[in-house]
Amino acid sequence: MPSSPNTRWQDTAVDQAARARLKGQAPRCIWFTGLSGAGKSTLANALELRLHAQGRHTYLLDGDNVRHGLNRDLGFTQADRTENIRRVAQAARLMTDAGLIVIVSTISPYLSDRQSARALFPQDGFIEVYLNTSIEECERRDPKGLYAKARRGELKDFTGIDSAYEPPVQCELTLDAGQFDVDACVEKIIECLTNRNSI
């Protein structure tokens, strides 16, 4: 909904279908969710590399990167996390409108925020990949040292420690990235996308 009653949707002569046709692909939003250290950025990167090598037009919206620019004014309170996801989802929506296959990797801890994100896309346009890597494994990996920091009480509102993570009730793929190596995980994601005629 627009914030002002005086704005009106402007149709454009070049539309999503035209842009996608030129790229020879179906626009998609592939949304990774899971705890910090679950493997979202690693797998999103590996997946983008794979799709790019196949000639797909892609973009990776990584949560940490978006917080350096578009969302640099946001922190980790519940309200800020919700606004963070709203903006990421809207950015992804714009990019699919441009005809891209967009990969999103962000904790996105709240079910309702992910549902709102999903609602921006057609039914086959949103593929939610839940990395249910156990918190024990995430904490063992601790690639950024954040679990250690949170345990020492030096980091507040850390997902899985003192901030909630709400797992998906229904998603397109659940993957334990603590069980399989990166290549095997990418293979499973590609298989899921292929089965859905998404790539």
Ligand X SMILES: Nc1ncnc2c1ncn2[C@@H]1O[C@H](COP(=O)(O)OP(=O)(O)O)[C@@H](O)[C@H]1O
75 binds ligand X, rule: CB under 6 A: no
101-105: strand order across its sheet? 58-62, 101-105, 28-34, 126-131, 173-175
Least distance from C-beta 182 to ligand X, angstroms?
A: 5
Least distance from C-beta 31 to ligand X, angstroms?
A: 13
Q: Which stretch binds ligand X (CB under 6 A): 21-29, 85-93, 174-182, 189-197?
A: 174-182
Answer yes or no: are the C-beta atoms of 57 and 25 closer than 8 Å: yes
Least distance from C-beta 36 to ligand X, angstroms?
A: 4
143 binds ligand X, rule: CB under 6 A: yes
Q: Is 82 exposed, middle or buried (0-12, 13-18, 19+ CB in 10 A)?
A: middle
CB atoms inside a 10 Å sphere around CB 2: 8
Residues 18-77 that bind Mg ion (CB under 5 A): 40-41
Kindly tell me which of 20 and 51 has the beta carbon lying closer to ligand X: 51
- The residue among 86, 127, 133 whose CA lies nearest residue 108 is 86
Residues contributing to the site for Mg ion (CB under 5 A): 40-41
By annotation, the residues acting in catalysis are 108
